[in-house]
Amino acid sequence: MAWFQFVICLIVILAAGTRLATYADVIAERSGLGRIWIGLAMVSIVTAMPEMATGISAAALVGSPDLAVGTLIGSCCFNLSILAILDWRNHKRPVLGDVSDRHLPAVRWGLVLLAVAGAGLILSQRFSLPTLAWLSLPGLLLLILYPLALRTILRSERTSYTEEIESVARYATFSLRSALIRFSIAAVVVIAAGIWLSFIGDKIAATTGWGTSFVGNLLLAIATSAPELVVGITAVRIGSPDIAVADILGANMLDTGMLGLVDAFYIKGSVFAAASPVNLAVIVAAAVMVSIVGYTISHPPSRLFLGKISIYGPWLVAFYLGAAYLLFTFGSA
């Protein structure tokens, strides 16, 4: 029954996510804010909501720190591996070869957030760190750094956005108000399905014996990252790869930053101290994958290897699968 509910929930997320990219592209055009701005400020927040809702529910209602941390960090790795899938679907050029280098600030901030999360996981399990009520120091830092990062990037993006202005409107028949309403409806569906997922994941972990670290980092991470996958494929198909990349990098920043919110909702203590040390392997894998993406954006490839895959794609997949193997082997506790 739990697996049936899992599949139904996944279908709901996929159905709602299919419309987000198109409406986001409309909003980017009609508002004049640009695709990177919309991808970071709107799309990434919505597509990351299932992870955030699942993480908070797992911490506050289910009481499973590994499920909470694993869902958020595991989604970061899966999100980045989506770029390899987008190249395979594109069949023309590497996706990262067609995007702006204005994504690099999101890469740098993403690494900073992952570094704080990794340090918090290591230190919290060895020392008694300062707390604010039951919110730990790493959690507090993440809650401060994420909005600071987003504000800094968006302010810079609004002043530098020039080249995406088009002389011919692609969505002349759409109004901004209509696109915002439809975007909001799809977002509500995605968020509601994400809350449902936390309870399903805990049931699967209990019935299979796989452990909440493995279930959180893999099953729930893949399911809650379904909107990023659908949005990415749709964005590339309609010729807006910047929305796809901004969504993935922005969602990763939010997923990592929301570890602080999960820490606040886990009233039993520090979620970093309670989570399994095996989650550190996923954080390291995510940091390496973000670095690969940043390097590739700085040195964009011009063609697909053998006309089918990018140079960076196999590396992203390899690091994701490596983290998955470690979780399956050592994360069953």
Quickly list DSSP for 162-213: -TT--SS-S-TT--HHHHHHHHHHHHHHHHHHHHHHHHHHHHHHHHH---HH
Domain ranges of the chain: 2-163+171-330
Would you call 118 helix, strand, or coil by DSSP? helix
Tally Cβ neighbours within 10 Å of residue 151.
10
Overall size of the chain counted in residues: 333
Q: How far apart are CA 202 and CA 317, in angstroms?
A: 26
Give the pLDDT confidence score for residue 133 in this predicted structure. Answer: 75
- Phi then psi dihedrals of residue 185, to 5 deg: -65, -45
> Stretch 276-288: mean pLDDT, rounded?
91
pLDDT digits (tens, 9 = 90+) for 140-185: 999 999 999 999 998 887 766 554 454 445 666 778 888 889 889 8
Over the chain, what is the mean pLDDT? Answer: 82
Indicate the SS3 state at residue 131: strand
| Percentage with pLDDT > 90 across the chain | 26
Q: Hey, CA dihedral for 245, 218, 315, 303, is it positive or negative? A: negative
The label of the residue with tokens 């922005």 reads 250
C-alpha 73/C-alpha 257 separation (Å) is: 10
Banded model confidence at residue 210, pLDDT cuts 50, 70, 90: low
Residues 6+ positions from 275 with CB-CB distance below 8 Å: 65, 66, 68, 69, 70, 121, 213
* 3-class secondary structure, 267: coil
Average pLDDT over every residue of 264-274: 88
Task: Report how far residue 167's alpha carbon sits from residue 160's, in angstroms, rounded to the nearest whole number.
Answer: 18
**The two three-digit tokens of residue 58, written as one number:** 């797992």
What is the per-residue pLDDT for 216? 53
The rounded distance, in Å, linking the Cα atoms of 250 and 258 is 12
Q: Are 146 and 113 in contact (CB under 8 A)?
A: yes
Predicted confidence band at 115 (pLDDT cuts at 50, 70, 90)? very high
The neighbour count for residue 155, using CB atoms within 10 Å, is: 10
- pLDDT at 245 > cutoff 80: yes
- CA distances to 16, 44, 150, 155 from 21, rounded to whole Å, are 10, 10, 20, 22
Question: Which residue did the predictor score with more confidence, 289 or 178?
Answer: 289
Instruction: Provide the residue type at 102 as one letter.
Output: R
The CATH architecture that domain 2-163+171-330 belongs to is Up-down Bundle (1.20)
Phi-psi region of 165 (alpha: psi -120 to 50; beta: other; left: phi over 0): beta
